[in-house]
Structure 1
Amino acid sequence: MLDIDSIARHTATIDDVLRRWRIPSRDRADIVQEVLLGAWRSMRAGRFQPRPGVPDAVALKRWIVGISWRHASHYATRAHRRYEVLVPSAGRLCQDHAPAPLEQVEARRALDDLRRVDPRFRAVLALTAQGYTIAEIAAEIGHNPNTVWNRLRLGRLWFRRVRRRWRRLARARREHHPRR
């Protein structure tokens, strides 16, 4: 009896057919999954019926090549209709309030600055930002609440220093290279 494992053994064959159809590698894995799923569903529905005298393994391989070929041809006919819709601002896709572009840039810079903070302090800052209490964080990371409190204090201090340093550098750049 043939099962999903016997179909899955032909993944390399499916990939070879898709490669011959010059399907981009970024889409190949998705189509391989579609072929495997389609073959499995067809087999369960009873559509796989090998010819008499042909071994099941050979018949299955031919059948899967046919399914792969069909999926590849459908991909090729759909490919010319694919297009991307460019959105000027991702904020327009949000139902809620979207921050202004300058606020988005500032948030990205703050995240970059946060990456410069010592990892021990950064973990406590991140958990605090998610709404965890000092006691919950202490239980999570297995430290004394006083240690967590101290790391939070030092992390905030370190983050403030990094932000202040960045602002100073940005101000110096603006003064040195004024807009024209």
Structure 2
Amino acid sequence: MTKPRKGAKSQPAARHPRKKPSIEAIMAERGIVLATLAGIPKRDRRDVEAEVLLNAWNAVRRGLYRPDPRDKPRDALRKWLHGIAWRLASHYVHSAYVRRAVLHPSPLGFLHEPVGIDMHAQIEAREVLDAMASLPPWQVDALLSVDDPESLAAYARRRKMNPHTAASRLRIAREALALRLKRWRR
């Protein structure tokens, strides 16, 4: 037995007995689910509906459907399905996918557009390469170690130096490169 919640005198007991409606009974109430999901775009409504029905069926199998015996069975099932649909619709509306989606009338049109050369990026890359060429060779070597697939410790071992020395050289090289770029861009 698990411990009661802090401040509670005992565990909360289930109020009503478990019921197991059939999957056919759940599917027959799709109308209430679809009415609840009316605010969701049509392209996603079928997916959310399927998720609602699947979650409802899984909850029934786990014994979580405990309707009030005073309610009519169909009314109790409809209220319960409405609650599940309402919660999943809320999750859908607040999901990152929906908030960040950018709709385009013809998304496949992006495939046929030529990819242009970004001149600004090329100029910046040339500036960085020119600045790196003006640095001492040990600083260029330290900067290029960042792109190496091995770790900085393996880079230091290969050159028979202390890993802290390698890290210090990398820091000095980064500072020197930043200073050169800052002077050139003025």
**Normalised-by-shorter TM-score class:** 0.3 to 0.5
Bigger Cα Rg = 2
- TM-score between both structures, scaled by the size of structure 1: 0.44
